[in-house]
Amino acid sequence: MTRGHASASATAANADRQASERRVDASPLRALPEVSHLAYIALGANLADPLAQVRAAATALASLPASRLLSVSSLYRTAPVGIRGQSDFINAVAALATGLGALQLLDALFAIERLFGRHREYLNAPRTLDLDLLLYDDALIDSPRLRVPHPRMHLRAFVIAPLLEIAPQASIPGRGQAAAWLPAVSMQRIARLPD
Ligand code: AMP
């Protein structure tokens, strides 16, 4: 249930323009895939040099098949959610134009997590790398393996702030403008790191 390709391409073009205004276009010579969807992905890590993990994960996203990395937000240092006593997280959000289907993309994200040595020990456990699919065009997906929009994205400052940095007009299907959720997350500790 994604919107038409023309609209997806237009959105991708917008994100592309934003990317060139910012600083990341990891594959300038790679053409957009023929069938292009616009996906937003959350990156997070709080173990084993998380800054390096998140930066390397962005590079791994740029290498996904039939995909092109359009932009990556600044890195943010954020308070851990759920478990007390964990280290702070490093978070970012990336925009990806991709010819992969949503489930193919989820599997590709799992593969990158595995590459980075992610262990799924328990809910909200510390992790070397966590990748979440936030948005996929304006799709609403509710399947056993995948829920899009990510069901908790609107309640997390570490998603909303970096998402708005690279896509100020982003909307969350079923929940309205992402910017409208800023007040709801304003009490959560988050600091943008200098470039
Ligand atoms: P986590 O351990 O928090 O990364 O959660 C991963 C689990 O959530 C996996 O079993 C996924 O199949 C499931 N999941 C459902 N929707 C999503 C999504 N939008 N992005 C990432 N994982 C998802």
Closest-lying ligand 1 atom to the alpha carbon of residue 149: 19
Name the active-site residue from 16, 132, 137, 138. Answer: 132
Question: 106: part of which helix (H) or strand (E)?
Answer: helix 102-115
Write down the pTM of the prediction: 0.83
Is 175 one of the catalytic residues?
A: no
Instruction: Tell me if 159 sits within 8 A of 93, measured CB to CB.
Output: yes
d(CA 103, CA 23): 29
User: Phi and psi dihedrals of 2, rounded to 5?
Assistant: -105, 160
SS3 45: strand
CA 146 to chain centre: 15
d(CA 19, CA 166): 8
CA 192 to chain centre: 16
- Statement: 36-192 belongs to CATH 3.30.70.560: yes
CA distances from 54 to 23, 79, 82, 111, 157 (A): 16, 16, 21, 15, 17
In this structure, the number of other CB atoms found within 10 A of the CB of residue 183 comes to: 8
pLDDT digits (tens, 9 = 90+) for 143-174: 999 999 999 999 999 999 999 999 999 999 99
In this structure, the number of other CB atoms found within 10 A of the CB of residue 86 comes to: 16
Q: How far is the CA of 141 from the centre of ligand 1 (A)?
A: 12
Residues 141-145: contacts with CB within 8 Å, 24+ apart?
A: 141/1, 141/102, 143/103, 145/103, 145/106
Is 189 one of the catalytic residues?
A: no
Tokens 């600091």 belong to 191
Ligand 1 binding pocket mutation candidate from 103, 113, 145, 172 (most atoms within 8 A of CB): 145
d(CA 16, CA 9): 10
Q: What is the model's pLDDT at position 14?
A: 44
Higher pLDDT, 48 or 153: 153
Mean pLDDT over residues 112-135, rounded? 80
Q: What is the model's pLDDT at position 190?
A: 96
State the amino acid at position 164 in one-letter form: L
pLDDT digits (tens, 9 = 90+) for 13-30: 444 444 443 444 444 445
